[in-house]
Chains A and B, each alone.
Chain A
């Protein structure tokens, strides 16, 4: 047990948890509008203890994320704002910025894997990219294209691409184009990169997609949602040779200032009824190569399941991955373990 409610814990549901990159602290974002920072008591019981509480959001905190270096923590809320905190000594946190440009509930925040660049996804159907200029954070780009709530986002291993999952039942892949890029995509503001949609995955998920995770180890995208299915996609280069039939020529693309489809996301596996008939609210790849083939999923059935890829190069064969009505006794070796709610 990590903590009990009577020991300075949250007053309402915890919606989001995130380990600091050094694994020393756990941040918890709660519907009580606060964010808790917890550390493990090294002697005695090994209990987790709240060492700081970040206040400021007016209502439900929806998501929290630590930057790669662990120096920054981002939070977002139903109050439409995104907050960036700087981690200081002695469990102190300093508010660096309060970003209020989303027009609706902000569902998720995600940091770039290497840079101090933040993305946020919202009920206003957009994704915003935030950068800092001498400690002043500003909205560098707004990614418009989804037709409904953007529930989740994750960066590719390089951070040059971003995948988004939406209630419009699509995944979109967005790519960053820097000024002077080879495709000639115009960047509107001086020095400022621009993000463009380079692939849309349509017709794979049958309902809202709630969660997406882009493995930093094997490069596969996992997604899940209200259709009770976990799907894995492999991203392939789809850059068409100039003049290929049915595609815009490079000149035409340039004229439209749209990069067109640069990637294809092929479905390589799916796990139907991964949590029985429950929605699957969350999927996450193991963050590093120690167990790069592990995937965790959390569902409305109150369970967390850990899955393992059969082939750690990511070439998951369909026969092995099609698991219908899976449960604990499945002997396909796919279901590595199962955790019941504490």
Chain B
């Protein structure tokens, strides 16, 4: 089940087709070895840049096929081959340091399929990639800590700004006033309050056909704030719901923060320019390839991207096969690289390395972290734990892919914060409708295009037998979800000992121009060409 079947080459009209089944992208045969690249400009148009620098504007279907070609494990092979030649010919100018960053969802997918622990998967993948000639193997749960911290800070800042501007009312902590984002009329956030008597006709006109808000929405105070890690959702919003863009968090995703870290921080530590590093991310999702190609993450100075190549879990599995590996049993193991990994000495067994990571759901835990952080920062409520439903009410609304998490003043029922997780295409539709019609009662929404979230991304492994006949899809997702936490010790992002140093030494502090440049981004509505009857094919 994935909205991101994403790179379905068959459909011209969508980055993310609202599909109900994981779609394996059409294999695109590489037609030449030319090292072209693809570029996304500020209007959301895609250009293919050939070696002579000429640019060709691309149709969406072409974009996808080019992306699949440009960002594939074949590209990684060719870079590694180029490095080998550079070593043989003693030509350091064509040698690049190759870094692979692996997502925790990928780890979970391999752990479930090959009966390993996530730590074993991490160690074996480190072994595998280093055998191929990769220099460093990192873990995007490291950069996710930064992404979580920034998302939390951004939310708190927006909330305060929204209160200041009067677009939301600060709750009265003795519980006598209502709170929540203000709608286009009198809106009761408290669902137990009887609804206003039904008006005979609600004049909403052809609500939403015109995509213009009555009052411009400002990014700095737009509520609800919507999580930004899912590229399927971002592409969809940019293409079809430009109105939603100010609501989307400007914090970069863990993948792209890892890109900043590797190209900028890691590079400077090694004395390398960004273009001397080739950075590969291993992701559960095909749309992450599109994200990596955005012009926002491209350096004109060095003609390089923060993330050069995204390959999916399934592509890594394919690499195993191509390297003569069946399963992971015969793999060696290597200790994880120090640096951008999330490992500590096991406090119980004393083992050298055990995985750590932020708690929360298997899509990254943004809802859980922001709730816990905002409860503390805004209202001084400590000890909120969404996973354990401590201090908050957690409710599944309508379907398993729509959860609401509410923080109330104990006893009074006064709502302090109302968050939601909306996964899958249908729930995104309903969220968009709510926001457009001013009926959203939420302060923060974790939006994910795939039903069940990233753990069920379109690039994740299929269970053994390559079908869901033996293992029903729901059971399979549950197994992968369990592996996501298996043997991973919970650690709050702010307890990551390296981050403080990074903020101080690399970013020059919190909320500095450099930290904004490295950790935040922006979005661009794509011009609609919807109603051109002449272009319509019947």
A-side residues, CB < 8 A to B, are 8-12, 32-34, 36, 39, 41-42, 49-53, 55-56, 58-60, 79-81, 89-101, 135-136, 138
* Closest CB in chain A relative to B294 CB, distance in Å: 22
* Closest CB in chain B relative to A104 CB, distance in Å: 11
Q: Is the CB of A91 within 8 A of B204?
A: yes
Given contacts A56-B429, A100-B18, contact A41 B201 (CB under 8 A): yes
Q: Is the CB of B201 within 8 A of A51?
A: yes
Beyond A42-B200, A91-B204, 7 additional contacts (C-beta under 8 Å) are A8-B209, A32-B209, A51-B202, A55-B209, A93-B433, A94-B433, A99-B20
Q: Is the CB of B13 within 8 A of A89?
A: no
* Closest CB in chain B relative to A36 CB, distance in Å: 7
On chain B, the residues within 8 Å of A96 by CB distance are 426
**Chain B residue with the shortest CB-CB distance to A79:** B13
Q: Is the CB of A98 within 8 A of B426?
A: yes
B205 within 8 Å of A (CB atoms): yes
On chain A, the residues within 8 Å of B536 by CB distance are 59-60
In the bound complex, CA of A60 to CA of B427 (Å):
22
Q: Is the CB of B430 within 8 A of A53?
A: no
In the bound complex, CA of A164 to CA of B128 (Å):
56
In the bound complex, CA of A264 to CA of B433 (Å):
48
In the bound complex, CA of A152 to CA of B202 (Å):
34
**Chain A residue with the shortest CB-CB distance to B431:** A95
Q: Is the CB of A94 within 8 A of B18?
A: no
Q: For chain B residues 288-345, which have a beta carbon within 8 Å of chain A?
A: none
On chain B, the residues within 8 Å of A53 by CB distance are 204-209
On chain A, the residues within 8 Å of B425 by CB distance are 98
How would you classify the secondary structure of chain B's contact residues: helix, strand, loop or mixed?
loop
Interface centre among B200, B205, B240, B399 (most CB of A within 10 A): B205
In the bound complex, CA of A135 to CA of B430 (Å):
15
Q: Is the CB of B430 within 8 A of A33?
A: no
Q: Is the CB of A58 within 8 A of B201?
A: no
Interface string of B190-203 (1 = CB under 8 A from A): 00000100111111
Q: From the candidates A49, A92, A99, A100, name the one contacting B201 in the complex (CB within 8 A).
A: A49
On chain A, the residues within 8 Å of B533 by CB distance are 12
On chain B, the residues within 8 Å of A135 by CB distance are 398-399
**Chain A residue with the shortest CB-CB distance to B428:** A95
Q: Is the CB of B195 within 8 A of A90?
A: yes
* Closest CB in chain B relative to A14 CB, distance in Å: 13
Q: Is the CB of B399 within 8 A of A51?
A: no
Question: Can you list 17 A-B pairs, Cβ within 8 angstroms, ordered by A?
Answer: A10-B206, A12-B533, A32-B209, A34-B206, A34-B209, A42-B200, A51-B204, A59-B536, A80-B11, A89-B198, A93-B433, A94-B430, A95-B429, A98-B18, A98-B425, A98-B426, A100-B20
- The 5 A-B pairs at the shortest CB distance, nearest first, are namely A8-B206, A95-B429, A8-B205, A98-B18, A53-B206
Q: Is the CB of B399 within 8 A of A136?
A: yes
In the bound complex, CA of A32 to CA of B531 (Å):
7
Q: Is the CB of A50 within 8 A of B398?
A: no
**Chain B residue with the shortest CB-CB distance to A91:** B202
B14 within 8 Å of A (CB atoms): yes
Q: For chain B residues 421-461, which have a beta carbon within 8 Å of chain A?
A: 425-427, 429-430, 433, 437, 439
**Chain A residue with the shortest CB-CB distance to B436:** A55
On chain A, the residues within 8 Å of B399 by CB distance are 135-136
On chain B, the residues within 8 Å of A33 by CB distance are 530
On chain A, the residues within 8 Å of B136 by CB distance are none
Interface string of B511-538 (1 = CB under 8 A from A): 0000000000000000000110100100
Interface centre among A42, A100, A136 (most CB of B within 10 A): A100
Q: Is the CB of A11 within 8 A of B531?
A: yes
In the bound complex, CA of A95 to CA of B402 (Å):
12
**Chain A residue with the shortest CB-CB distance to B211:** A55
Q: Is the CB of A81 within 8 A of B204?
A: no
Q: Is the CB of B530 within 8 A of A59?
A: yes
On chain B, the residues within 8 Å of A93 by CB distance are 433
Q: Is the CB of B209 within 8 A of A98?
A: no
Q: Is the CB of A9 within 8 A of B429?
A: no
On chain B, the residues within 8 Å of A100 by CB distance are 17-21
Q: Is the CB of A90 within 8 A of B202?
A: yes
On chain B, the residues within 8 Å of A89 by CB distance are 195, 198
* Closest CB in chain B relative to A267 CB, distance in Å: 31
Q: From the candidates B13, B204, B398, B429, name the one contacting A98 in the complex (CB within 8 A).
A: B429
On chain B, the residues within 8 Å of A138 by CB distance are 20
In the bound complex, CA of A90 to CA of B14 (Å):
32
Interface centre among B11, B21, B203, B425 (most CB of A within 10 A): B425
In the bound complex, CA of A12 to CA of B209 (Å):
12
* Closest CB in chain A relative to B335 CB, distance in Å: 44
Given contacts A59-B530, A59-B536, A95-B426, contact A90 B198 (CB under 8 A): yes
On chain B, the residues within 8 Å of A95 by CB distance are 426-427, 429-430, 433
In the bound complex, CA of A98 to CA of B536 (Å):
22
Q: From the candidates A50, A58, A99, name the one contacting B206 in the complex (CB within 8 A).
A: A50
**Chain B residue with the shortest CB-CB distance to A97:** B426
Q: Is the CB of A50 within 8 A of B426?
A: no
In the bound complex, CA of A79 to CA of B399 (Å):
25
In the bound complex, CA of A51 to CA of B536 (Å):
28
**Chain B residue with the shortest CB-CB distance to A101:** B20
In the bound complex, CA of A51 to CA of B530 (Å):
23
On chain A, the residues within 8 Å of B427 by CB distance are 95
In the bound complex, CA of A52 to CA of B19 (Å):
25
Q: For chain B residues 141-184, which have a beta carbon within 8 Å of chain A?
A: none
On chain A, the residues within 8 Å of B198 by CB distance are 89-90
On chain A, the residues within 8 Å of B439 by CB distance are 92
* Closest CB in chain A relative to B93 CB, distance in Å: 48
Q: For chain B residues 1-54, which have a beta carbon within 8 Å of chain A?
A: 11, 13-14, 17-21
Q: Is the CB of A11 within 8 A of B17?
A: no
**Chain B residue with the shortest CB-CB distance to A10:** B206
Q: Is the CB of A49 within 8 A of B203?
A: yes
**Chain B residue with the shortest CB-CB distance to A85:** B429
In the bound complex, CA of A50 to CA of B17 (Å):
29
* Closest CB in chain B relative to A150 CB, distance in Å: 16
In the bound complex, CA of A8 to CA of B208 (Å):
10
* Closest CB in chain B relative to A279 CB, distance in Å: 15
Given contacts A8-B205, A42-B200, contact A94 B20 (CB under 8 A): no
On chain A, the residues within 8 Å of B17 by CB distance are 100
On chain A, the residues within 8 Å of B209 by CB distance are 8, 11, 32, 34, 53, 55
In the bound complex, CA of A341 to CA of B302 (Å):
65
In the bound complex, CA of A9 to CA of B209 (Å):
9
On chain B, the residues within 8 Å of A51 by CB distance are 201-204
Given contacts A59-B13, A100-B19, contact A52 B426 (CB under 8 A): no
Interface string of B458-476 (1 = CB under 8 A from A): 0000000000000000000
Q: Is the CB of B201 within 8 A of A39?
A: yes
Interface string of B491-504 (1 = CB under 8 A from A): 00000000000000
In the bound complex, CA of A52 to CA of B207 (Å):
6
* Closest CB in chain A relative to B341 CB, distance in Å: 38
Q: Is the CB of B208 within 8 A of A55?
A: yes
Q: From the candidates B195, B206, B398, name the one contacting A9 in the complex (CB within 8 A).
A: B206
On chain B, the residues within 8 Å of A94 by CB distance are 398, 430, 433
